[in-house]
Amino acid sequence: MKILAIESSCDDTSVALLEATDEKITILAEKTASQIEVHKKYGGVVPEIAGREHAENIMPVVEEVMEKKEKHDVIAVTSGPGLITGLIVGVEVAKALSYLWDVPVVSVNHIEGHIHSPVLNNSQVSLKNITLPAICLTVSGGHTEIVHIKKWGEYKRIGGTRDDAAGETFDKVAKMLGLEYPGGPKISKLALTGNTKAIHFPRPMVNKDTYDFSFAGLKTSALYWLRDNKLKKKNTFLSQIFFPKRITINDFCASLEQAIIDVLTEKTFKVAEDLKPKTIMLVGGVSANKKLRETLQKRAEENSMQFITPNIQYSMDNAAMIGAAAYAKAKKKEFTKWEELEANPNWHITG
């Protein structure tokens, strides 16, 4: 089955053409127009600008992917969750192409897309060799969610953030440090040579009896610490109270990264202790964080659980994962009539 997939829920206009079988997903063509350069100066994604950029980029990206390719059988599109300004562009294009080409549409939940990302360009991983039940932690600039996967297609959202997402916390603190968007990769690079114990940042809600997260307090704590310990020359902070030595920007980043990783790890394994999954999955933009991958993998192995995460290239938003998620639905003919297709920015993944 050939699937043309469209993803535009945040700041990437992405289109992919896939050949899907039960054994394998092959990416025939893919193209992503990233908006990072446009949003950089604002320190985060500006929804109105994102919408305009998607509208400008989407047809050239579709044309490039479809160049000289045969007709496909299905169109897959992200209908939610995400920014309404971006979702609308993808959904409207999917509707128009469905009508024009008389090809059915599969409406895909963005988180379900991320859940399928580990199978992309990875000969080691297919849905068949991910042992269920699994717990999937989706961490990105817009999402921090834990989903229980009992069977493929049967999902239960177990917990999520009550305020900022994990990636958003990296991005907002990076902005306070004067680092460019997206801040996650910059903070994790600086953290490589820092001391994770230099500053004790809080681990919000880590011991609370809930599977939910909250990162707003950690962000505020970073802001107050920076206010109280001004940045000096050579990227060192003056920490008057607790440390006789000066703390470097690397120490700050390492301490912050460790706090985020600790919260994500402890919550995931709290869920794992209760639900006893066979597999732990880590997906979404923040899954590109090497230390987070290594920490979760180690804990999973200690608990005799399989650990699954995508190739870093497919951690970020991409259309191929949307196509991969659409395949099983298309086989069951779970199509949405183009007249009924709608963007739903608050679509929670469930059953």
State the residues that interact with ligand KG4 by CB under 6 A: 10, 140-142, 167, 170-171, 182-185, 188, 284-286, 288-289, 316-317
CB of 122 to ligand KG4, least distance (A): 17
Residue 90 binding target from ligand KG4, Zn ion, none, CB below 5 to 8 Å by type: none
Q: Rounded CA gap, 288 and 15, in Å?
A: 21
C-beta neighbour count of 140 within 10 angstroms: 25
Using CB under 5 A, which of the segments 118-126, 140-148, 168-176, 268-276 binds Zn ion?
140-148
Number of residues that bind Zn ion (CB under 5 A): 2
Give yes or no for residue 171 binding Zn ion (CB under 5 A).
no
Q: Rounded CA gap, 114 and 123, in Å?
A: 18
Q: What is each CA distance from 57 to 53, 86, 163, 308, in whole angstroms?
A: 6, 11, 31, 32
Report residue 86 as tokens.
Answer: 């971006």
Residue 170 binding target from ligand KG4, Zn ion, none, CB below 5 to 8 Å by type: ligand KG4
Give yes or no for residue 145 binding Zn ion (CB under 5 A).
no
Give yes or no for residue 287 binding Zn ion (CB under 5 A).
no
Give yes or no for residue 315 binding Zn ion (CB under 5 A).
no
Tell me the residue nearest to ligand KG4 as measured from the CB.
285
C-beta neighbour count of 167 within 10 angstroms: 25
Are the C-beta atoms of 182 and 166 separated by less than 8 Å? no
Nearer Cβ to Zn ion, position 35 or 140? 140
Nearer Cβ to ligand KG4, position 159 or 183? 183
Q: Rounded CA gap, 345 and 84, in Å?
A: 5
C-beta neighbour count of 203 within 10 angstroms: 17
Give yes or no for residue 295 binding Zn ion (CB under 5 A).
no
- Which residues of this chain interact with Zn ion, rule CB under 5 A? 140, 317
